[in-house]
Amino acid sequence: MKTSWLINAGNKELLIFFAGWGQSPDYFKKFKSDQFDVLMVYHYQNIEFELINNIIEGYQTTHCLGWSFGVKVCDLFIDQAEISGDKMALNGSFLPVHEEYGIPKAIFQGTLDGLSQKNWEKFMFRICGNKTLAEELVNYNLRSIDTLKEELQYLGEISNLPSSNNFNSVQISNKDRIFPISNLKTAWEEKNANLVTTNLPHFPFESITSWEEIVSPQPEVCHGN
C-alpha cells in the first residue's frame, strides 16, 4: 500500500482518498482544494495503516473517500480509526468480490487470469467510457502488468475480510461497467445507506476540478432509499 500527498498545504481538514485498482496519483494531482489537504492511498499490497494513523493526528477533521476497490480498504481503515468527518463510498462495495453485492467471482477471476497490456487498456476504457481519457490514464500508469496483477489478486484476497460498513454517504452509477449496478443497489439498500444514484461512469472524475465537488456533490439523478 502506497500513499501520496495530492495537496499538502497546511489545511485544518484532511481528506484521505482510497483509490481503485491500478491507479496513479498523477491524474488526481490536478484537482484543487482550499479546504482540504488530500492524501491518496493506492497500489494495495497490504493493509498497514500505522503511517496514516499518525498523519491524521495532526488534523482537526478527517474525511475518508473510498472509490471502487478502495471502498473496501477505506472501510477497513475506518474500522480501526476515529474519523470525525464524512465517510464516503463511491462506485464500490464493502464486499467487492461477491455474487450479490459486488463483482461476481467468475468475472473477477477472468479479469485476473486474462490480464495483459491489451486487456488492461480495455479495462481502462470500460471504467471511463472515453477513449482519450482512457489513453491518458494508461499513460499515467507506468507499472508492469505483473504488479497490476499482484495488486488485483491481493484486493480479491481481502474482499471478504469483516468490515463494518462505516459510510454515511454512498454514490453509485447507472453507467458503471465494472460493478453491476443491481448488485451495488442490493448491497447498499440492505444496509439502509444514504444512497445517491448518478449517470456517471465507474470513473466519475473526468469533469471534476476540485475535491470539494466530490465531498459535497450535487445529486445527478435521484436519491435511493
The confidence band for 220, taking pLDDT boundaries of 50, 70 and 90, is very low
Q: What are phi and psi of 31, to 5 degrees?
A: -75, 140
Please report, rounded to a whole number, the percentage of residues in the chain having pLDDT higher than 90: 91
Q: Residue 74 has which C-alpha cell?
A: 477505506
Q: Is the pLDDT of residue 64 over 80?
A: yes
Provide the residue type at 223 as one letter.
H
Mean pLDDT within 99-118: 97
Percent of the chain with pLDDT over 70: 96
pLDDT tens digits along 160-200? 999 999 999 999 999 999 999 999 999 999 998 899 999 99
Q: What is the pLDDT of residue 182?
A: 97
Q: According to the model, what pLDDT value does residue 20 have?
A: 97
The crossing angle, in degrees rounded to 10, of helices 117-128 and 145-158 is 60
Residue 74 sits at the vertex; the CA angle it makes with 68 and 79, to the nearest 5 degrees, is: 145
pLDDT of amino acid 216: 64
Q: Please determine, for residue 219, whether its predicted confidence score (pLDDT) is greater than 90.
A: no
CATH assignment of 2-223, among 1.10.3210.10, 3.40.50.920, 3.40.50.1820, 3.40.50.970: 3.40.50.1820
Region 10-33 average pLDDT = 96
Asked whether the beta carbons of 42 and 23 are under 8 A apart, the reply is yes
28-42: average pLDDT: 96
Looking at the predicted structure, is the pLDDT value of residue 35 above 90?
A: yes
State the amino acid at position 93 in one-letter form: S
User: How high is the mean pLDDT of the chain?
Assistant: 93
Question: In this structure, what C-alpha cell is assigned to residue 205?
Answer: 472524475
Cα–Cα distance, 187 to 190 (Å, whole number): 6
Q: Which three cell numbers stand for residue 95?
A: 464486499
